[in-house]
A = this chain, B = another copy of it.
Amino acid sequence: MDFDILKNLVKPSDTKILLLVMDGLGGLPTDAQDFTELEYAKTPNLDKLAKEGICGLHDPVAPGITPGSGPAHLSIFGYDPLRYQVGRGVLSALGINFDLKDGDVASRGNFCTVDSEGKVTDRRAGRIPTEKCAELCDKLKDIKLSDAEFFIQPVKEYRFLTVFRGEGLFGELADTDPQKTGRLPLPPRALKPDAEKTAKVVAEFIEKAKEKLKGESPANMVLMRGFSRRPDWPLFPEVFGLKAAAVAAYPMYKGVAKLVGMEVLGTGESLDDEIATLKKHWNDYDFFYFHVKKIDSAGEDGNYDLKVKLIEELDEKLPEILKLNPDVVVVTGDHSTPAYISNHGWHPVPTLVWSKYCRRDRVAEFGERACMNGGLGPMFPATNIMPIALANGLRIDKFGA
């Protein structure tokens, strides 16, 4: 729904909305058994919410499209990810809490390995550990560029962030990653004339980085991706009229939350830490985005049993969260990560919305096939979630007389 229209309909209320995102929740049956991870998991508490609530499966981006974590989150936050596109550079900056200024150009770099001819032999430099990455960033951080300030910070494993600051820099630059081994890194190429200066600035950085990394092993070169400036988007608290906080432990998710204007609460990584954080701040906000990461990682690793176990763990802790008495609870994932494919999938994502005022359907358990017959439909746009959550929190005025 158009933000301008929605913004005018949103009204204040003292209801509290909890958006619980189980990352990578959606799954698939395996060859061994006809249950998805969520269907197989024993989840009495989620089943109870599903029974009392209204269910369905959301489609994160568009039918058949497998989303990255950024677009998938934007979508459940109500932002059409096809319209609101953000570069990986900006996402990385937000993710590690880098204080990005207006006009800064951020980029997500990889340390990689090149051979004596300069051809890439490993795009991830053998997935060097984060400590090594930090050491290398330290080595590069004193590089001086003729036309811009320059910052570099480690992100995770072989990934680092670079930020270029100066007059007239733009993000419209092609990636230098050739995407395949056996090829030379690409030169930083401007995608619009305005970005020519930026291309030169980046080329100078790459040249100097290459020089400094000579002799390192396995990480002796950089690949630069996702050049981007911070976008000027409508902010979540203003569009939805919510004082909004994010409980998320991982940089990427903090980043997206910050990008749309949520306050990111400091929290530990474990589920218990996150619940403690939620409790501590419960009275201070209207809306909580609560992110649970590890379910996705288990899916990515193709570990069906671990994914089941982590879903069950979340279910066990659910009553503790519900004791806070949220008025509206949404439980969903940002996308599917079926262990069967060890990867993000395009498959719609189980979703339940619970409130005193939802119209409950006949779904009595939280699982993919049960949700297909739910009142939200088997493939509804993820961007519907926020308006529906607001409605259930009695936070939207009537449209028209």
A interface residues (Cβ-Cβ under 8 A, vs B)? 1-2, 5, 9, 26, 28-29, 34, 36, 56-57, 61-72, 81-82, 85-86, 88, 91-92, 95, 340-341, 344-348, 357, 359-362, 368-369, 372-380, 384, 386-392, 396-401
- Give the CA-CA distance A384 to B62 in the complex, in Å: 9
- Give the CA-CA distance A63 to B346 in the complex, in Å: 23
- Give, as a whole number of angstroms, the nearest-CB distance from A338 to chain B: 8
A396-B362 in contact (CB<8A)? no
Q: Which residues of B contact A348 (CB under 8 A)?
A: 359, 375
- Give, as a whole number of angstroms, the nearest-CB distance from A86 to chain B: 8
A373-B376 in contact (CB<8A)? no
B387-A65 in contact (CB<8A)? yes
Q: Which residues of B contact A374 (CB under 8 A)?
A: 372, 378
A64-B378 in contact (CB<8A)? no
A65-B375 in contact (CB<8A)? no
Q: Which residues of B contact A85 (CB under 8 A)?
A: 400
The secondary structure that dominates the A interface is loop
Q: Which residues of B contact A379 (CB under 8 A)?
A: 375-377, 380
A347 with B372: in contact, given A66-B391, A388-B64 (CB under 8 Å)? Answer: no
- Give, as a whole number of angstroms, the nearest-CB distance from A110 to chain B: 14
Q: Which residues of B contact A69 (CB under 8 A)?
A: 400-401
- Give the CA-CA distance A191 to B375 in the complex, in Å: 43
Q: Oligomeric state, in number of copies? A: 2
B369-A70 in contact (CB<8A)? no
B28-A63 in contact (CB<8A)? no
- Give, as a whole number of angstroms, the nearest-CB distance from A23 to chain B: 14
- Give, as a whole number of angstroms, the nearest-CB distance from A108 to chain B: 9
- Give the CA-CA distance A390 to B57 in the complex, in Å: 20
Q: Which residues of B contact A398 (CB under 8 A)?
A: 66-68, 344
Interface centre among A2, A91, A359 (most CB of B within 10 A): A359
A64 with B391: in contact, given A5-B82, A81-B400 (CB under 8 Å)? Answer: yes
- Give the CA-CA distance A361 to B29 in the complex, in Å: 11
A388-B63 in contact (CB<8A)? yes
Q: Which residue of B lies closest to A379 (CB)?
A: B377
Q: Which residues of B contact A91 (CB under 8 A)?
A: 400-401
- Give the CA-CA distance A380 to B64 in the complex, in Å: 13
- Give the CA-CA distance A386 to B63 in the complex, in Å: 9
Q: Which residue of B lies closest to A384 (CB)?
A: B63
Q: Which residues of B contact A369 (CB under 8 A)?
A: 360-362, 375
- Give the CA-CA distance A397 to B344 in the complex, in Å: 10
- Give the CA-CA distance A65 to B374 in the complex, in Å: 19
Q: Which residues of B contact A65 (CB under 8 A)?
A: 1, 9, 387, 391, 396, 399
A400 with B64: in contact, given A375-B372, A378-B377 (CB under 8 Å)? Answer: no
B375-A64 in contact (CB<8A)? no
Q: Which residues of B contact A26 (CB under 8 A)?
A: 359
A396-B28 in contact (CB<8A)? no
- Give, as a whole number of angstroms, the nearest-CB distance from A34 to chain B: 8
Of the residues B2, B88, B399, contact of A81 by C-beta under 8 Å: B399
Q: Which residues of B contact A95 (CB under 8 A)?
A: 401
Q: Which residues of B contact A29 (CB under 8 A)?
A: 359-360
Of the residues B67, B86, B359, B399, contact of A347 by C-beta under 8 Å: B359
Of the residues B82, B344, B360, B376, contact of A2 by C-beta under 8 Å: B82
- Give, as a whole number of angstroms, the nearest-CB distance from A299 to chain B: 14
- Give the CA-CA distance A361 to B370 in the complex, in Å: 9
- Give the CA-CA distance A368 to B374 in the complex, in Å: 12
